[in-house]
Amino acid sequence: MNQLFKSGASVRGSTSGSNYAVKDFIGGGGQGEVYGVNASSGDFALKWYHPETSTSEQAEKIDTLSRMAPPSTRFLWPLERATSPDSAGFGYVMDLRPREYKGLTDLLNGRMDPTFYALCTACIGLADSMHLLHSKGLCYQDINWGNVFFHPGTGNILICDNDNVCVNGSTATVLGTPRFMAPEIVRGEAQPSTDTDRFSLAVLLFMMLFRSHPLDGKKESLIHCLDQQAMKKLYGSDALFIFHPTDSSNAPVAGIHDNAIAYWPIYPAAVKKLFEKTFTDGIRDPKNGRVLESQWRQALSHMRDSVFRCSTCKRENFYDPATPGAVCWHCRKVLSPPLRIDINGLCQVAINYDTKLYPHHLSGLRSRYDFTVPLAEISQHPQNPSIWGLKNLSQAAWISRTTEGAENQVPPGRSAILKNGLKIVFGGGTNGVIIWE
């Protein structure tokens, strides 16, 4: 690839007037090239447009976006437009992606194998990010696996290519990426919108969890040349979910779609129902049939809370009350219900050696989806490692009550010993009950 800039070249920020020195080439794509750059304020990334994409409309969009606050810190948002005295056109400066964040292609191609907990965290972050973006009246237009980066250890995500973001309902500058576009766009009947974003979001979530495409089943396996006409049928006019509840004509094929076949039984029924809704009702009725970001966020949070380890092989599984008698996906042993805490009857969190509870769990509706600082964590007794407790990391004392009626204060820094039926009063109307079946 012909690099537009060599190391040492300089560009200038249109708003700050800062000079950014080019350090190295990061990568390139259809719209332009990305470089690591340095300024007096630190290291950043520079996306520079190819001549055919450096239009006045795109320049105006970058200026508009850079004046907005990003929906969250997960977005590598345009900070300012940049120009060069030595090169025609323009680019924009954004925060630099840390090296430990990997492309989702590494996940989908099997080059990394994160925990289910980290994977759920990434999916929650993606759904929450799109919820925040759409709440600002914006449309992403081009959700796909190349725009999201993932920390394999924590599950934290970063979203790039935000220069495609536009006001919902405005003229689209891109239609999307093949295999992620909503069927109505593929058929040429619609432009990108929040409704089509929701379809693309569901495709990406499905691919992250099942490492397969939701529309690639038997019909796809029979296509010998996946040309434009075939793509239009498979992802547009004849789009059919591979796990459609009443039509198995596009079911996954053993030996071809093995990931889909293997992963589908693993996940909780509530999450699979949301995929079923989006890829059945949502194909026929884009406006009313697609799952909202807030619904994904809620279901995925419950799913992450349900992660627990098989007592036999220690592999992660999901506790799903809807499927009693489930077996471990790895060792095939029947799974015993995990030790868990029921919080106000609204959610149950499986308790593992590394479980933490956040404001999302303990601080009521005002702090829903706040997973920043833990308020409680599982701890072992320092003198007797066989005794486990829930440690108070908050600033207020809790009250614990046993089934026999004994009541104890649990001040910050101390733990409530876990026993079946133990009730913990966290304050603010939030109560938890330990369930040990």
HEC states along the chain? Answer: CCCCCCCCCEEEECCCCCEEEEEEEEEECCCEEEEEEEECCEEEEEEEECHHHCCHHHHHHHHHHHHCCCCCCCECCCCEEEECCCCCCCEEEEECCCCCCEEHHHHHCCCCCCCHHHHHHHHHHHHHHHHHHHHCCEECCCCCCCCEEECCCCCCEEECCHHHCEECCCCCCCCCCCCCCCHHHHCCCCCCCHHHHHHHHHHHHHHHHHCCCCCCCHHHHCCCCCCHHHHHHHHHHCCCCCCCCCCCCCCCCCCCCHHHHHHCCCCCHHHHHHHHHHCCHHHHCCCCCCCCHHHHHHHHHHHHHCEEECCCCCCEEECCCCCCCCECCCCCCECCCCCEEEECCCEEEECCCCCEECHHHHCCHHHCCCCCCCCEEEEECCCCCCCEEEEECCCCCEEEECCCCCEEEECCCCEEECCCCCEEEEECCEEEEEECC
End-of-domain residue from the set 78, 95, 112: 95
Q: Are residues 149 and 267 in the same domain?
A: yes
pLDDT value at 150 more than 90: yes
pLDDT bracket for residue 383 (50, 70, 90): confident
**Given this model, what pLDDT does residue 171 score?**
80
Residue 1, pLDDT above cutoff 70: no
- Residue 39 sits in the same domain as residue 180: no
Say if 333 falls within a structural domain.
Answer: no
- For tokens 């759920």, name the residue: 120
In a shared domain, residues 106 and 250 = yes
Task: Say what the pLDDT of residue 2 is.
Answer: 65
The CB density around residue 403, as the number of other CB atoms within 10 Å, is: 12
pLDDT of residue 366: 78
Q: Are residues 273 and 187 in the same domain?
A: yes
Identify whether residues 162 and 219 lie together within a single domain: yes
Q: Which residues contact 358 (CB under 8 A, 6 or more apart)?
A: 367, 370, 371, 372, 373, 374, 375
pLDDT tens-digit series, residues 21-60: 999 999 887 789 999 999 999 999 999 999 888 999 999 9
Q: Average pLDDT for residues 136-145, to the nearest whole number?
A: 95
CATH number of the domain that residue 76 is part of? 3.30.200.20
Q: Mean of the per-residue pLDDT values for the chain?
A: 94
Report yes or no on 323 lying in a domain.
no
**Is the confidence at residue 394, as pLDDT, over 80?**
yes
Q: Tell the residue number behind the tokens 């026999």, with chain if given.
A: 404
- Please check whether residues 137 and 68 belong to one and the same domain: no
* pLDDT, position 225: 85
- 308, β-bridge pairs: 317
Read off the tokens for 406: 């004994």
Which of 95, 130, 146 lies at the terminal end of a domain, its last residue? 95
* Range of the structural domain that residue 144 is part of: 102-299
User: Are both 126 and 253 inside the same structural domain?
Assistant: yes
Residue 309 located in a structural domain: no
Percent of the chain with pLDDT over 90: 86
Q: What CATH number is attached to the domain comprising 178? A: 1.10.510.10
* Whether residue 112 has pLDDT greater than 80: yes
Out of 62, 95, 128, a domain closes at: 95
Residue 376: beta bridge partners? 357, 392
CATH number of domain containing 395:
2.60.200
User: In sequence order, what are the beta bridge partners of 150?
Assistant: 102, 157
Strand partners, 139: 166
> What pLDDT does 137 receive?
96
Shared-domain flag, residues 115 and 197: yes
**Do 285 and 386 belong together in one domain?**
no
Give the tens place of pLDDT for each residue, 295-334: 999 999 999 999 999 999 999 999 998 888 899 999 999 9
For the full predicted model, state whether its pTM sits above 0.85.
Answer: yes
